A and B are shown apart, each in its own frame.
Chain A
């Protein structure tokens, strides 16, 4: 691994002054499960590493009074998978986090790291897309809020500027009668990067028959994580049925543009976008129907 200067700022301000100072010459180190691999391979050779390990403020999960959920970027996937707030109010996210890699990776990998790595295969991203998530990006001079589906511009390419740090992930309060799930496909039963992954959130009205909101996010079916808005629009305002869900799944399939690579073929991935969207939607619908008013999913 190429040599570098290691910085371990004690505060966010310190960290931001470092990102401001070093910009593209620096990489931010969270869990390291992606960055260390890239550096060993020589794919990334930063002169500076800014470790966020001391910034305990970035490790929390808060359930705000307005019902929104704020997640610090250094929250590990294991924490996401087991945290009671997430399990209760955003089960789709804890499910997705539990499918990432292996337990060893989940114990170190972070939500912020996963988002900023910007892999189209990132499992937690579809649920965040479904849930209407905003990302808070800070610099020395201020911060901005960006919708998560505006954040990705290509495989492993995000719109985060080199002097920015992702400091918070804001998820909208999930409405009552919301159900969601994340389904992932691979070649074996564990330790997989998704061949295709689909997250669906469905919110119903009080009578629990009309869909008032739908979120569909897809991993590994395009150059970036996908937000299937057309498919969502097919479900919104409708009385849901298996037929309508299948129709929406076909639309999602058309919205996807998967490639063929080492892991799978574009034809198979395309078909699986349809299958998983259908299955995830049916399950999300079932869970929404089963939920009660107290924001349970």
Chain B
């Protein structure tokens, strides 16, 4: 960890525009869906129209015979292996061979000379199904006699029961107990670029440009799916139009594209249309949450009892981890000493869920943070005060075994309360003719350093390689992925700072499994922490190599040398200096030692939680934040206008403040507001009814309110220059803050998201009847 002061940094802590921004502004960045090469085939996937059916027969002969069709594949062309990126959870197949389990499940695919031919070929495939009874609600799916989707008793993929401390005792000791039912609906990522994949196969090597957040992980999964060694697979990340968790792990589209390329020996591209994207995207796991909290007289939460029923959808993917994460947050937020957590992950014949920014945390935080305001109301406490009482503290451990190092939650509460003029706004009259104004607060905790969820028991490492060219410029190869979130820029800044060179002298190479070192992927808000540490490690080694040569050339002690702006000089005598390029060239040309090094970050602090007890320090560092929302509610229409947001996040250190701020703004204004007020996938008998941006609403620019952002820099002892993750924290508390503000405005709780105008109006009227008898 470094406790370096700000003015000691020349690059870190300054606002830096993205290194990849210009290409995107010019329109020359080539996204996967832009890729087009001569002879490229267009692939299309045939999808099941039934939510649950046996596949009786698939006759591809007519499709194969159509002119312009180069390949048609079914399960028979695959290894017929079940897969899941999480080992032990395999249930899906690249192409289903015996059953389909959701509307949109993939059963066949074609590759043809153009899109029209491919579409016609799909229509020529004769797929015969025997429809089976289907079930769409997880509670119904658990009942005796419900249709069996997999060989799982009562369709329960997993039933988890955990207890930290003694929850009954905690409730006995509580001054007040509050309980409620909350519902978080299926919502989807709405990446602006629909999923696409491009693959070529030659010289027994598969090259694939996929929508992926996990290039090395994808390579591993593809290797197993198509049964060729990993070394024969190259995964490349073109710029992609959005990820947010949707692109973790292999998607059947990736393997299908690969198989078609291998079969035809021609380049193949598959791209979703937008309606296909809505119909088949892996939603945020919908959760029914029963939450009961017990507090002491001063508002301190001492017991939480949580029961969650999670709609797994048709296949396993991330559900057990998401549900587990939601449960563990119940213990982590405010370090509640006694927590019981029970979760059912249940198969249904809906499309299956996946990772989505927050990974179960937005769902549980909505429940926890709105219930906390209910409690505050009962105790006649200011919601900011009850959070002050409960806030996590630095260097503490939760009942679930999470070792919190840095923690700035109290500062986050203070800053947002102060800057939003909290006290006065809470006291002010709420009414403005038909409108009521309100202000609400919510806090969050999240892992800020990645977790050991994926690919094994201890797989949260990262690596980076620095090659310093003999002109002093640097090639920085990182395993971390640039998804548009600014990873490349952050890594370059860290390297430039540590090496003492200019940012413009660094080229970042990422998203290429052929050339970049290993990294398990961009998820869990981990990259700044893990990859940043790896980059610093490599940079320290390169710095040492440079200074070794320089000290010799300059006849000075290494300890007396400093590097800044590409110059190596003697501390205190800046005129005695040589260029970094001089040292690099000397080492390369005259000493036979090219300047290069690999840095590896090994996560020695976090563990997987114990599978039986759930106890364990699951992150090396934890990120915290508080958001305050101000809303105006039209009490006759139920329409909620978000007026303002104040966000304070403990990010350890903001390596690129501009980058981190735009993460917060995007998380709140492009997603949080949507999750709170307007987003929901509408299912009817397994069919997604709102398959367009007209009917699935995400916030527009007109919905964006002002947002003031504040960073609390607690300089985490484990983070690179103290930094922790911020990507997911950006949207975790937003919905709860808005719901709490609505309560302040109109005195009603809506415990089901989204809080649409009609839902809120019903709640307002019901409340009015209760209060006034009319």
Report A's interface with B, CB cutoff 8 A.
185, 187-191, 193, 195, 262-265, 267-268, 271-272, 275
Contacts and interface: CB of A to CB of B under 8 A. Distances in A.
B265 interface: no
B690 A262 contact: yes
B757 interface: yes
Contacts of B638: 268
Nearest to A271: B761
Contacts of B694: 193
A43 B762 CA distance: 36
A56 to B, nearest CB: 32
Nearest to B758: A268
Interface in B604-663: 636-639, 641
Contacts of B697: 187-188
B560 interface: no
Contact of A189 (B689, B702, B756): B702
Contact of A187 (B677, B761, B762): B677
B419 interface: no
A272 B637 contact: yes
A188 B637 contact: no
Given A187-B756, A268-B762, 11 more contacts: A185-B637, A185-B757, A187-B697, A188-B677, A188-B678, A189-B700, A190-B700, A262-B689, A262-B695, A268-B761, A272-B637
A185 B699 CA distance: 15
B701 interface: yes
B702 A187 contact: no
Contacts of A188: 677-678, 697, 699-700, 702-703
A275 B758 contact: no
B49 to A, nearest CB: 15
A275 B639 CA distance: 12
B682 interface: yes
Find the residue from A185, A188, A190, A271 having the highest chain B CB count within 10 A: A188
B757 A268 contact: yes
Contacts of A264: 758
Contacts of A272: 637
A265 B682 CA distance: 13
Interface in B689-723: 689-690, 694-695, 697, 699-703
Nearest to B642: A189
A263 B695 contact: yes
Nearest to B674: A188
Interface of B: 636-639, 641, 677-678, 682, 689-690, 694-695, 697, 699-703, 756-758, 761-762
B360 to A, nearest CB: 26
Contacts of B682: 262
Contact of B636 (A189, A193, A275): A275
B637 A191 contact: no
A265 B638 CA distance: 13
Contacts of A275: 636-637
Interface majority SS on B: helix, strand, loop or mixed?
Answer: loop
Contacts of B677: 187-188
B695 A190 contact: no
Contacts of B756: 187
B710 to A, nearest CB: 26
Nearest to B673: A188
Nearest to A189: B702
Interface majority SS on A: helix, strand, loop or mixed?
Answer: loop
A126 B758 CA distance: 23
A189 B703 contact: yes
B552 to A, nearest CB: 64
A191 to B, nearest CB: 5
14 contacts: A185-B637, A185-B639, A185-B757, A187-B697, A187-B757, A188-B678, A189-B703, A191-B702, A262-B682, A262-B689, A262-B690, A263-B695, A267-B758, A268-B638
Nearest to A185: B637
Nearest to A260: B758
Q: Which 8 A-B pairs have the closest CB atoms?
A: A268-B758, A190-B702, A189-B702, A190-B700, A275-B636, A187-B678, A262-B695, A189-B703
Nearest to A183: B637
Contact of B701 (A190, A263, A267): A190
A267 B766 CA distance: 14
Contacts of A187: 677-678, 697, 756-757
B154 to A, nearest CB: 32
Contacts of B695: 262-263
A271 B682 CA distance: 23
A286 to B, nearest CB: 14
Nearest to A40: B273
A109 to B, nearest CB: 14
A267 B703 CA distance: 25
Contacts of B639: 185
B595 to A, nearest CB: 52
A272 B702 CA distance: 22
B769 to A, nearest CB: 14
A193 B690 CA distance: 14
A246 to B, nearest CB: 12
A222 to B, nearest CB: 18
A191 B700 contact: yes
A275 to B, nearest CB: 5
A68 B756 CA distance: 42
A144 to B, nearest CB: 34
Contacts of B758: 264-265, 267-268
Nearest to B694: A193
Nearest to A263: B695
Contacts of A193: 694
A185 B760 CA distance: 14
A263 B697 CA distance: 10
Contacts of A185: 637, 639, 757
Contacts of A271: 761
A139 to B, nearest CB: 34
A275 B699 CA distance: 25
Nearest to A276: B637
Contacts of A195: 757
Contacts of A265: 758
A102 B700 CA distance: 10
Nearest to B757: A187
Contacts of B637: 185, 272, 275
B697 to A, nearest CB: 5
Contacts of B757: 185, 187, 195, 268
B637 to A, nearest CB: 6
Find the residue from B641, B694, B701 having the highest chain A CB count within 10 A: B694
Contact of A190 (B703, B761, B762): B703
Nearest to A102: B700
Contacts of A263: 695
A272 B638 CA distance: 10
A265 B757 CA distance: 11
Contacts of B703: 188-190
Contacts of A262: 682, 689-690, 695
A211 B224 CA distance: 78
A183 to B, nearest CB: 10
A271 B702 CA distance: 25
B400 to A, nearest CB: 38
Contacts of B701: 190
A99 to B, nearest CB: 11
B602 to A, nearest CB: 46
Nearest to A195: B757
A262 B688 CA distance: 11
Nearest to B699: A188
A176 B332 CA distance: 68
B755 to A, nearest CB: 10
Contacts of A267: 758
A263 B700 CA distance: 17
A271 B641 CA distance: 20
Contacts of B699: 188
B629 to A, nearest CB: 16
B274 to A, nearest CB: 11
A264 B699 CA distance: 18
B570 to A, nearest CB: 61
Contacts of B689: 262
